Amino acid sequence: MTQDQREMLLEDVRDIMVESSAASRWATIEGKHLLGERICRDLGNEPDEIGLIAELAVTLNKPERGLWDAIKFFRMWPNLDLAPIGKNLAWYEIVHQFLREER
């Protein structure tokens, strides 16, 4: 393998890693938005909103706070395309920059 071929391989591998990482982060964000949207669809019919979220968390074996984060995310930006976030942000960063209050 020539030096040029090695450099091309290295560049291609880096590009693939960066693109796949960005796609993965964005897929997580889209999934959280969809989760919030789906839960919100039925919350309007549920007088015990807190109880329903707690029940979902227990049944799914997921943290309740994560479900509330997804709900808040959807409520803040029902249209994900209008959210002031870039595709390079991770879900963790969105949660801490926009969804959780300072302590």
Q: What is the DSSP string of 6-72?
A: HHHHHHHHHHHHHHHHHHHHHHHHHHHHHHHHHHHHHHTT-S-HHHHHHHHHHHHT--HHHHHHHHH
Residue 103, pLDDT score: 39
Residues of the chain falling short of pLDDT 50: 103
Residue 64, pLDDT score: 95
For the chain, the structural domain boundaries read 25-99
Residue 100, pLDDT score: 84
Q: pTM for this structure?
A: 0.83
